[in-house]
Amino acid sequence: MMGRLLSASKVRKPPKVMKTTRTSIQKRTRRHARIRAKISGTKEMPRLSVFKSNKHISAQIIDDVNSVTIVSVHSREVIGKNMMEKSHLVGKSIAEKAKVKKISKVVFDRGGFMYTGCVKALAEGARQGGLQF
């Protein structure tokens, strides 16, 4: 009888809820928002925006005043052995397309991604192609 009374009188505590953890996508989005608050592209000096996924990388030159994409290149359009080589070729390709549109200076927007690896290779390719930033 005593055992029943003790078990009935025990009060269960609600389970502890874990704090929500931010995913890497949410962190990158927050970093990108901080960057975009500081930089903006104009017609004279547009923004070179970079997006990277696990398989591909793309770059766009954007006029933020008129909300127009002037030039864009995707890694599917270039032929390379690996992601680093494709990134470098995307940078060169976007620089060549920008020359045709008479764009020489841009503002670099790394899109919340770290400036290493593929993003750095794209930037170096764009500089070799003739873009200044």
pLDDT in tens, 9-47: 567 776 666 566 778 889 999 999 999 999 999 999 999
Q: How many residues does the chain have?
A: 133
Question: What distance lies between CA 75 and its chain's CA centroid?
Answer: 15
Q: What angle do CA 54, 60, 65 make, to 5 degrees?
A: 135
Q: What is this structure's pTM?
A: 0.81
Mean pLDDT of all residues in 80-90: 96
Cross-strand partners of 57:
52
Checking if the pLDDT of 128 tops 90, the result is yes
Each domain of the chain, given as residue ranges in start order, spans 24-129
Q: In whole angstroms, give the CA distance from residue 50 to residue 72.
A: 10
Q: Which residue has the tokens 């970079």?
A: 50
Mean pLDDT of all residues in 88-97: 97
State the CATH class of domain 24-129: alpha beta
Checking if the pLDDT of 7 tops 80, the result is no
Quick one: what percent of the chain has pLDDT higher than 70? Answer: 85
Q: In whole angstroms, give the CA distance from residue 14 to residue 23.
A: 26
